[in-house]
Amino acid sequence: MDDESGISKISDILLQEIDHSLTIILRERQDYANLSETAEYETFKKAIEQFQPSPQLLDSKLRDFLERVIRSYIKNCLYEDQDDALDTRISCVFYQFAKVRGTKTVSNCLPSDISLISIVLKRGSEQRSWESRFFLFVWLSVLILAPFPLAKIDLHLPDKIYNVAFEYLKTGSKETDAASVLMARFLSRVDSRDYRDLFISEYFNSLAWEHESNVFAKIGILSTINRMLKILTLEQLRNHLDRILTLISNEINDDSQQAPSSILRFFIKILGKLSLFFMRLEQYGNIEDIVSNLLKFLSHNDTVIRYSTAKQLSKIGLHLDSDSRQDILESLVNLLDISFMFDEGDEFQADLHLDPETIDIVSFHGVLLTLGEFCRLRLMSKKWITITGSICHRTLFVEQHRLTYSAGSNVRDASCFDCWSIFKKYRDAEIPPGVIVTLFKDLILVSCFDGDLMIRRAASATLQELIGRHGDLLFRQLSVPSQYISMFKVKLIEILDYTALGHITKSYQLPSQIYRRLNGLMHQEFVDFLLSSGIRNYNYSLRKLSSQALKEMVSISSDYDAENVIMKLRGEYKLCKEDGILNAIADLLSLLPERSVDSTQYHAMISNFTFDFHNDEFSKGEEYLHLLKELVARLGFQLNSNELDTVFNIIRTNREEITDEFKELSKYLKDIPLKYAERWIYYVKNGNLASAKALGYSPVMRERSQEVLELLSDIRLDANLRSSLIDSVSIFLQRDGYLNKTFIQGKLKLIEQLDDYTVTNKGDVGSFIRISSIDMIFENRDFFSSEDDRQAIEMRLLRLSCEVMDNVKLRSFSLLRSLEHWGSQVEDVTQSELLHNPQKYFGILLKLYDNENLCLESSKEFWKGYSFSGGSSQAVDKTINAAVYAFLRNWQVLTNEKKCAMLRIIFSLLGKGPLMKDKGSKGIRYNKMQTSCLRFVCNLIELNLEIPPEFELESLFVRTYNMTLGSSNYLRLTIAVRILTNLYLRDPKKFHGCKKRLQWLGEKHPLTKVKARAFEALQEIEFESQE
């Protein structure tokens, strides 16, 4: 929903909110308190700011609100000096109204009680806050409009007003705007003539201007002059007009310095207003000067300046005779530097020479905006509508390519504006039918194919005007039978839906909808556009979308033969190797029947193709691979060595798009010469991901499976690469690889990939391998179906399902559930439920464990995994808590016998493991597991896990004791200290050895930190014993 609609919907509620806030801020209630006023002001501000998109919605209550503001100010502040905060707050309320609704509008709601002039002026001159000055100056600007000589109230009053207004004109603060309103209104008074003369003669001359270095002062003066030109009469200004023009002309033409936009904006507005005065004085020379000056600003870098100029020029045009108007229009078009034939203005000039890459984008934008304004004000003759149409026919597609982006969307936007104005403001008979038809086709192309969402929408809005107002004429011109015209109108508007245009992919599919629903309307234009520019677009995504759209448009009609279109493109590629052509040919090839074309001609076409992976865009390689894939797939194309070399050159570019295309190509490459098979494996060994990922589709895998299997165990290879190789093995197995002897014999090696815990500075990269392995087994369950396989897999999955990483454990759990026998044991829960409710997840796992009679080895694997979740330093608190609480809950329903068995297995993990001597990743992993397990056990006993009396808890003491021997692992020792303390406190006699060990650690351990922990533990024991 846009902002305007949003505010319309809630404006009544917001007005009530404002009404309520004001009762508090303005102290209309007796029970006010300072604090609530400040808070209420924030509420008020929030409410009023929401009116920004549609400030007029304030109007129904604005007068009432402002009267209350004034009433409160008069009552609480105007004659009092005590409450500065309230003064400022009320003034802030006024400022917010002025900010949202405009100073002029709010000033119209202020009372004009002449008796208040002196006090308001006095207070305004004395106030410290700018908000208060702003409010009082605006109010004063209304008060001084009273039709009485000000000097009669107080002889010095005019002086005082002039001085105070002038002082604050220069500050550059927010009250400058109010001071400018005050000054302009003051100078517009009949009795202010001398001040008026003084103001202009003293400050608006070249000398004073040069000396004034303060930009804010200049802006203040200009804004006052601008306002004066709005409210003063010709008679009041007659003597000053030349002076104002001269100064501005001099400033504009002073090449030594360029005025800032904030000043230029006023220059332009003032020039526009001056021209209207000169028109009344019939001083056409001055008008000509003004127009010449304004024309220069159409190429200003600031859009605001360009638009402001366009508006002023069109305003001047509105008051000129048609010949002079024509002169302005000709000057405008001359600014474009295009060879336009004015004599042929009546003829639509479809092939206007205009090179989008070299034109001055800002000038075009400025000129098009002005032409649009001329159209909107109906200042164009039929000839000029034709000229504007001829220009828009080209500018609707302007795009200028820069290094990292393309410019020109403002030119296209302004072109839509021009067309919109023409179609909205002119009747059928006033627009040449040729212009209507051509622009219609252009706008349809822009609606469907422009890369910028706003331009597509602008074009479609323009089409609505065109079809709604000139639809009958248009479709008659397009030879649509009269009985179908209404249908065409509605269907077209429906197809060019605001929402559909919002998605670039959908908008590129609109031409086929238009074709299908509107009897092939514009079919040729769509194909021509896509062929001539769409498929070669600068933007990679648009090129691909165009290519797909072209394929669709060629396929839906018998008017086009894909082979002919391909032949045309081949010819063009021969002449110029533009990006996108190969891609389009590739897409079109898929329309040809298999093996219908002699493929040899394609060898010639791509024989000169080269790819430099250091410098070339990846897309160049991507489309080459795409073409080869289609050639091989459709035409049985055999790649020669040159082409294979290029392919292997392209895949050195590490891009997903390249990998995907290479995978596609690999699916169809049947015979790969030995040299390239070796190169493929060489690439894999050297870390090339594309070759690893595509290997599964290639016959090379069959021939080199032993090498691949060995590579999987090569821990020197990057984990990502090994994970990709596993993906490839998975694909190979699915594609009839179940009979491959190497993999049959090497199944265990494949299953063992589930045990990869490689850790690098990027973290647990082994998880990539574990995930790929889980997926591989999942996809090839039939291959891993023997009893031995099942046992080896299940054992590992029990561990993986209990681990910390969500994506590993949930994938593993899914695989476990999918295995025969396990599926019926697991309750039916969704992945998302498992993910968001870890306690439930662990509960399910423990239930599974209880129900199954697992062998010792499987049980150990289960608790290895569980220890990580229940005690790993890497696990988040949520996971640890979930694992521990699920364990405790499950513990309550177990028999003592089961409890003892479970504890024995868990504690056995704390013993010296078979791999402890392994210093590699497996050894490190085992150590980590033990520390996690120790922490898990520590968490349990600290939560008073009830140990069956018959269980030999001494075993925990022994295990813990042993784990402290010769260890300098601070984390492990800290946990051990906690366990030893807990055991001792449980039974000091039975576990007196714990205290002894703690004493030894406290006295003799080489690490001070460990000593300190042990010492603290002993203190705790001492303290608890005394209790």
Asked if 5 touches other proteins (CB under 8 A), the answer is: yes
Choose the stretch contacting other proteins; rule: CB under 8 A; options: 116-124, 190-198, 416-424, 885-893: 416-424
> Minimum CB separation from other proteins for residue 518, in Å?
13
Total site size for other proteins, rule CB under 8 A: 54
Binding mask 362-391 for other proteins (x = CB under 8 A): -------x------x---------------
- CB closer to other proteins, 111 vs 823: 111
Which one-letter DSSP state was computed for residue 260? P
List the structure tokens of 51: 């009116």
* Residues contacting 233, CB < 8 A, separation 6+: none
CB of 510 to other proteins, least distance (A): 13
Give the C-alpha separation, 666 to 735, whole Å: 13
Choose between 6 and 673: whose C-beta lies nearer to other proteins: 6
Q: Is 457 in the site for other proteins (CB under 8 A)?
A: yes
The answer to the question of residue 108 lying near other proteins (CB under 8 A) is yes
- Work out whether 59 is an interface residue with other proteins (CB under 8 A): yes
- Pick the closer one to other proteins by CB: 457 or 1013: 457
SS3 of 407, please? strand
Question: Burial of 558 by CB count in 10 Å (0-12 exposed, 13-18 middle, 19+ buried)?
Answer: exposed
Q: Is 413 in the site for other proteins (CB under 8 A)?
A: yes
d(CA 969, CA 974): 9
401: part of which helix (H) or strand (E)? strand 400-401
Whichever of 117 and 467 has its CB closer to other proteins, that residue is 467
CA–CA separation, 220 and 183 (whole Å): 10
For other proteins, the binding residues in 904-933 under the rule CB under 8 A are: none
Distance from C-alpha of 511 to C-alpha of 794, rounded to nearest angstrom = 54
* Sign, CA torsion 320/322/328/329: positive
Among 451, 471, 746, 913, binds other proteins (CB under 8 A): 471
Give the x/- contact pattern for other proteins in 323-362, rule: CB under 8 A.
Answer: ----------------------------------------
Q: List the interface residues with other proteins, window 300-329 (CB under 8 A).
A: 303-304, 307
Nearer to other proteins, 83 or 465 (CB): 465
Question: For residue 345, what are the contacts with CB-CB under 8 A and spacing of at least 6?
Answer: 383, 384, 386, 387
Verify binding: residue 2, other proteins, rule CB under 8 A. yes
Question: Considering the complex, what minimum distance in angstroms separates the CB of residue 492 from other proteins?
Answer: 9
Site string (64-103) toward other proteins, x via CB under 8 A: -------------------------------------x--
Cα angle 526-528-529, degrees, rounded to a multiple of 5: 65
Establish how many alpha carbons lie within 13 A of residue 404's alpha carbon, considering only the half-sphere containing its beta carbon.
Answer: 0
Q: Pick the stretch among 2-10, 761-769, 804-812, 972-980 that binds other proteins (CB under 8 A).
A: 2-10
Q: Does 63 bind other proteins (CB under 8 A)?
A: yes
By CB under 8 A, is residue 230 in contact with other proteins? no
| Minimum distance, C-beta of residue 472 to other proteins, in the bound complex (Å) | 8
Q: SS3 for 760? A: strand
The verdict on 430 binding other proteins (CB under 8 A) reads no
Binding test (CB under 8 A) with other proteins, winner from 111, 149, 260, 468:
468
Q: Which of 148, 284, 342, 498 binds other proteins (CB under 8 A)?
A: 498
Q: Which range binds other proteins by CB under 8 A, 174-182, 464-472, 588-596, 711-719? A: 464-472
Q: In whole angstroms, give the CA distance from residue 854 to residue 23.
A: 75
Measured N-to-C along each axis, helices 322-334 and 382-395 cross at an angle, to the nearest 10 degrees, of 20
Task: Find residue 401's DSSP bridge partners.
Answer: 406
Contacts of 650 by beta carbon, 8 Å cutoff, 6+ apart: 611, 613, 621, 622, 624, 625, 658, 662
Considering the complex, what minimum distance in angstroms separates the CB of residue 514 from other proteins?
Answer: 14
CB 189 within 8 A of CB 231: no
Closer residue to other proteins (CB): 12 or 202: 12
Contacts of 800 (CB under 8 A, 6+ apart): 754, 770, 774, 808, 809, 812, 865
Residue 709: both structure tokens together = 């299997």
Interface segment toward other proteins; rule CB under 8 A; list 8-16, 132-140, 432-440, 916-924: 8-16
Cβ burial of 949 (10 Å; 0-12, 13-18, 19+) is exposed
Residue 733 sits in the site that holds other proteins (CB under 8 A): no
Residue 145 binding other proteins, by CB under 8 A: no
- Measuring CA to CA, how many Å separate 73 from each of 89, 334, 432, 457? 10, 58, 62, 49
- CB-nearer residue toward other proteins: 201 or 486: 486
Q: By CB under 8 A, is residue 407 in contact with other proteins?
A: no
Contact window for other proteins (CB under 8 A) among 156-164, 479-487, 579-587, 967-975: 479-487
Shortest CB 740 distance to other proteins, Å: 57
12 binds other proteins (CB under 8 A): yes
- Phi, psi (deg, nearest 5) at residue 381: -85, 170
Residue span 253-272 as binding mask against other proteins, x where in contact by CB under 8 A, dash where not = --------------------
DSSP notation for 485-541: HHHHHHHHHHHT-TTGGGSHHHHHHHHHHHHHHTTTTTHHHHHHHHHHTGGG-SSHH
Q: Which of 417, 515, 573, 732 binds other proteins (CB under 8 A)?
A: 417
> Would you say the C-alpha torsion 594, 597, 603, 608 has a positive or negative sign?
negative
Is 8 a binding residue for other proteins by CB under 8 A? The answer is: yes
Nearer to other proteins, 430 or 1024 (CB): 430
User: What pairs with residue 763 in β-bridges?
Assistant: 760
Nearer to other proteins, 507 or 691 (CB): 507
Report DSSP state, residue 862.
Answer: H
For residue 691, give both structure tokens. Answer: 């070759």
Q: Measured in Å, how far apart are the chain's first and last C-alpha atoms?
A: 69
> CB of residue 304 vs other proteins: minimum separation in angstroms?
6
Stretch that binds other proteins, among 299-307, 634-642, 767-775, 928-936 (CB under 8 A): 299-307
Regarding 490 and contact with other proteins (CB under 8 A), the answer is yes
Q: Work out how close the CB of 500 gets to other proteins at its nearest, in angstroms, rounded to a whole number.
A: 9
By the rule CB under 8 A, 439 interacts with other proteins: no
Residue 399 CB, nearest approach to other proteins (Å): 18
Q: Which is nearer to other proteins, 6 or 920 (CB)?
A: 6
Residue 458 CB, shortest distance to other proteins, in Å, is: 5
Is 312 in contact with 268 (CB distance < 8 Å)?
Answer: yes
State how far the Cα of 742 lies from the Cα of 506, in Å rounded to an integer.
Answer: 48
Region binding other proteins by CB under 8 A among candidate stretches 173-181, 410-418, 430-438, 784-792: 410-418
Does position 109 interact with other proteins (CB under 8 A)? The reply is: yes
Q: Hey, what are 205's tokens?
A: 């001359």
Q: Segment contacting other proteins (CB under 8 A): 120-128, 459-467, 777-785, 972-980?
A: 459-467
Residues 27 and 72: beta-carbon distance below 8 Å: yes
At closest approach, how far in Å is the CB of 103 from other proteins?
12
Residues 491 and 497 sit within 8 Å (Cβ to Cβ): no
Distance CA 678, CA 252 (A): 73
Q: CB neighbours (10 Å) of residue 183?
A: 29
Question: Contact residues for other proteins (CB under 8 A)?
Answer: 1-2, 4-12, 56-57, 59-60, 62-63, 101, 105, 108-109, 303-304, 307, 369, 376, 413-414, 417, 420, 424, 454, 457-458, 460-462, 464-465, 467-469, 471, 485-490, 493-494, 496-498
